[in-house]
Structure 1
Amino acid sequence: MGTSQRFGTTAVEQAEAVIIEQYPRLVRLAYVTLPGTSGRHARVLLAHRAVQRALPHTGGGGPGVDGPGGPDSPGAPLEDVRVRVLRASLARAGRTRAALARLSWPPAPPFVWGLRLWPPAGGIDEAARLLAGASAPVRAAFVLHRLDGLPEESVVRLLRAAGAADPADAVREAVAVPVGDPGDAGDTADPDAGPRAGEALLRALRNPEFDASVVSARPTDLLRRRRRARAVWAATAALAVVGGVLAAHTASRVPDTRPLAGPVAAGALDPARLVRAPAEAWADTARVDFTAWPARGGRTADRALLARALGTWAARPREVPVTAAPGTPTDPPARPPRLLYAGDSDGRAVVLLLDADRVVRYAEAAEGPRARELAFARTDESGVTTAAALRLGRTGTTARYLLAPWIAKAGTRDLTRAGDPAKPLDVSADGVTAPTAVPRAAGACDTWPALELTSSARIVEKHAFVLADLGALTPVHLTYTPLPTGPGAVPARQPREATGTAARAAWAPVACRLRELPGAGVRAVNIWDFADSELPDGGGRAVWSCTRASGWAGPGDVLVQLRPPSGPPQDVARARATAACGRFGQHLLAGARWRSPAGRWYQLAAGSREVTGITATGAVRAESKGRSLVAPAGARGAAVRLTGRLASGAGITALDGAAGGRD
């Protein structure tokens, strides 16, 4: 059904009735499918917009009555409305990027003056958070199948009609979503989360009394709105002040700059209005993230420096290089940002600012506004580890970092040397580290320096963790998930900090592969040892691992390797932008050809904890019960297809670059 199809008057009236009757369910479908990067306020408005614009246009003919299968049958008004809602939501999520590219401007959310809207705690917003790491079609399939109760084949049909790619795969991933399981492999799991809580959420969402279209409303900043109104009358003066700040140093003036956002932005560019957290706020809050950082550095009172930083951010002169992590907006602040740091570091003046879910670093020559630069990084849902450090700057092969105020001890460690202890790292009273080595981006890799930080006992006891510098403003959190504790479908092991003996041993042969990652978009990297198996011909016991680099935007890249008892690991499979080896990809099967010490070739395969059997077809025909398979193979690498059976009875295919999946 194309978007240009016209409908008869009767069909339009029936579609209107369906929208009114099913409005909460349709809003829920749109809200969960839409990307979380829009923010809850914009997401609510876009969800209502998608549903209200699902009313078809009148014309000559078109669907008009329910099919024999009822309102959910093919061609019925409810199905058509769902397709229209899905098409709008998936387009916003980027699935129909080609269609959006043909428009002269992207669709904007509706505007509500003076109010901020968001879903109440729990309910629809909790479902959206549960599925934050999944793709938009998977989120949509979860709502349609798990919440609305549609059969899988109906969901596939709806997604295909809405233009989703690989709708069958999306449905399989939605069915496999482990409701209530712990967090992503790159983050520390919440010990209070569990299957019972997830099932309670599903029951609440399925409750006919639950209304997904109910929202909470609060006014925006009333004083700021008053200041905006006054600023309209003083627009000329405000712009003149900002222009004067930008022109304070003749050497920094650039005739071709991007325009300011007007008097609204001018109010946010006053250094006197920068937000500053109390020095001890981090020790007396349940939100231990960048919002708890106090303003530090020797130039926090330097109004001229702070004004230049804010003015450069707002005006964006074209000579100023700008770097930003994927999905990070670089637009000027809409309100006064939070000051984290202002000081000199290795001949550069550096200002760090926090604006909602992003950190901005402004740097210039210490003696004035020359060689300026801006860098933006995402910080949404950061915590004790992911908000523990920011890079101040780099000089040659070393860098300095500003550490969180809750860091009690700092050191450095060489990831490639598992047995070496951490070396102490000096930290100033302002939280700035001494220069420390950073990994080389090219050339031989015989060392990989990393930070090992320890949190203060005032917030968590005996907690050390490891961060790696991949060249971005925010270092990457490294974790490790050990092998299952026993045979069968035992409970999943949770990611832990990469500080123990087993974790260091797992990271040593993999550390240099970190240079293959795009550091600006990576939030955390976890090594998951998902299986081990005995190698034939006396080869010893090998470990199968999956290294997942989780991005701030949700998707991640994975590398599956086979680690023999001696020698380098063998690459088995890779996949990009996948849920595999994370919260929504906890079932894994992988295989590789391996040559034994006796010179014979074998087909090896292994699966994660719930795999109960493996079958090989094609060039190798073999079957095994359990989580591993060993079978003789020819010297030539002819195609072999591996399938596995889970304890639930479902099937799974081997990861092969397309991420694998259920049969």
Structure 2
Amino acid sequence: DFGVWPARGRRTGDSALLGRALRAWTDRGWRGRRSVEPGEPAAGGPGTWQPGARLLFADDVDGHAVVLLRDGVHLVRYSEPLHGGTPELTVARTEDADVTTAAAVVVARSPRSVRLLLAPWVAAAAVRDLREPSAGPRAVGRDGNGVTEPVAVAAPGGPCHDVPAVQLRSSSRIAEDHAFLLADLGGLVPAHLTYMPAPRPGVRPRPPREATGEAGLRGWAATACRLAGLHGRGVRSVNHWVFAAQPLPEGAGTAAWVCARADTWRGTGDVEYLFVAPGGTDAKVVGRGRDTAQCSRFGQNALAHTEWRAPSGAPYLLAAASRAVTRLDVTAPVRSTADGRFLAVAVPGGRPAEVTGRLPDGTRIDSPLSPDGP
């Protein structure tokens, strides 16, 4: 974690600069520009810092003097222009960061790129486009202190043509052949991207795994554009869970049902339920949940539904659930029941649907809120 980072940079001995950075963090009366990520108090002073702050980095980056400080709960970036201007302080919560979530920190940002300070255990760095899973990663250079060259980031609010992600590989002293993906979501620390494949009969489910394999990259290709909605929300990690793979009517192939869960540094989590048609390059949002345990280890039962048109043009209500669900019931716009965890029934198009599921003990599982809900 950040606790084992050494102090790096050519200005670690600049006591005047370090003093200004510490005052910006601790003094409520400081007059610079303060940016506080979600979950942190809006002002400086007690509550935004803990005694015993440690220096992680101090150097000049892209025309600014940059200082990184850490106190065990928070990570702080202080930045002041070298030739006059308003200094800026950014405070983020990074409690319990691990080998992946403490692997990189944004030390400089422009509208289309960032420079990252990489952890000392990172052996190799590259950037890849999540929308193009077959394209190989491109190596990213870094200086002797671990600061990378400018790395492209997605432009929030614009068309989703490409979604850059950083692929890092840790040293073999930390974990053998451990590669992982990070995506910039506008915060101090990039978010860790993980993947869980569709369940296989007789195989126990596994925890989220790294998304650097072929299946993980293919899965993220269809859902990567959804990351834009997570910018500026203090996201720690995003897991892409394929909770069902459903054969479609009329021999139209197999669709994937995904629950994308974004966990924040505050401990809360939001989810989006996504439907990915065969060969689809973009996921359809069919439900969501806010501040929920859904699709986590504390909420392992998932159910979602959507209307889908077959190649013939006929509308169908499709529903799918995770492996523990044993029955699905539809009460609108038609009435239907299916044993198991998949349902496909012809319906009049364009009408709201009501679908529930049942576990073996009779516990009811509800579909999530529609994407147009609160």
Q: Shorter-chain-normalised TM-score: which range? A: over 0.9
> How far 1:356 sits from its partner (Å)?
2.2
Query: The residue matched to 1:509 in structure 2 has which SS?
Result: helix
Task: Supply the AA of the counterpart residue of 1:326.
Answer: P
Answer whether contact 1:411 1:451 (CA < 8 A) is retained: yes
Matched residues in 2 for 1:570 and 1:447: separation?
A: 18
Matches within 5 A, 1:122-201: none
User: RMSD value over aligned CA atoms?
Assistant: 1.8
Go from structure 1 to structure 2 and tell me whether the alpha carbon gap of 1:476 and 1:621 turns closer, same or farther (over 3 Å shift). same
State percent identity of aligned pairs: 47
Aligned to 2:312: 598
Greater strand content: 2
Task: Supply the AA of the counterpart residue of 2:324.
Answer: E
Indicate yes or no: 2:249 matched with 1:533.
Answer: no
Matches within 5 A, 1:442-481: 442-481=157-196
Indicate yes or no: 2:89 matched with 1:377.
Answer: no
> How far 1:427 sits from its partner (Å)?
1.4
Query: The residue matched to 2:251 in structure 1 has which SS?
Result: coil
Residue deviations 1:610-636, cap 9 Å, x none?
A: 011111113221111111011110123
Go from structure 1 to structure 2 and tell me whether the alpha carbon gap of 1:434 and 1:636 turns closer, same or farther (over 3 Å shift). closer
Structure 1's unaligned 5+ residue stretches are: 1-288, 659-663
Q: 2:201 aligns with which of 486, 503, 515?
A: 486
Task: Supply the AA of the counterpart residue of 1:604.
Answer: L
Q: 1:364 aligns with which of 56, 64, 80?
A: 80
Matches within 5 A, 1:283-432: 289-317=1-29, 319-329=31-41, 330-332=44-46, 333-367=49-83, 370-432=85-147
Residue deviations 1:232-253, cap 9 Å, x none?
A: xxxxxxxxxxxxxxxxxxxxxx
> How far 1:609 sits from its partner (Å)?
1.1
> How far 1:468 sits from its partner (Å)?
0.4
Answer whether contact 2:23 2:30 (CA < 8 A) is retained: no
Task: Supply the AA of the counterpart residue of 1:463.
Answer: H
Larger radius of gyration: 1
Task: Supply the AA of the counterpart residue of 2:55.
Answer: L
Aligned to 1:612: 326
Matched residues in 2 for 1:555 and 1:562: separation?
A: 24
> How far 1:334 sits from its partner (Å)?
4.7
Go from structure 1 to structure 2 and tell me whether the alpha carbon gap of 1:458 and 1:608 turns closer, same or farther (over 3 Å shift). same
Matched residues in 2 for 1:345 and 1:396: separation?
A: 16
Aligned to 1:498: 211
> How far 1:441 sits from its partner (Å)?
1.4
Answer whether contact 1:483 1:493 (CA < 8 A) is retained: no
Go from structure 1 to structure 2 and tell me whether the alpha carbon gap of 1:621 and 1:429 turns closer, same or farther (over 3 Å shift). same
Residue deviations 1:472-499, cap 9 Å, x none?
A: 1111000011111216xx5323211110
Greater helix content: 1
Query: The residue matched to 1:558 in structure 2 has which SS?
Result: strand
> How far 1:367 sits from its partner (Å)?
4.4
> How far 1:315 sits from its partner (Å)?
2.3
Matches within 5 A, 1:221-300: 289-300=1-12
Go from structure 1 to structure 2 and tell me whether the alpha carbon gap of 1:636 and 1:432 turns closer, same or farther (over 3 Å shift). closer
- Give the structure-2-normalised TM-score: 0.94
Task: Supply the AA of the counterpart residue of 1:617.
Answer: T
Aligned to 2:149: 434
Residue deviations 1:24-53, cap 9 Å, x none?
A: xxxxxxxxxxxxxxxxxxxxxxxxxxxxxx
Go from structure 1 to structure 2 and tell me whether the alpha carbon gap of 1:494 and 1:437 turns closer, same or farther (over 3 Å shift). same
Matched residues in 2 for 1:390 and 1:655: separation?
A: 34
Query: The residue matched to 1:614 in structure 2 has which SS?
Result: strand
> How far 1:580 sits from its partner (Å)?
1.0
Query: Which stretch has the larger CA shift, 499-508 or 557-566?
Result: 557-566
- Give the structure-1-normalised TM-score: 0.54
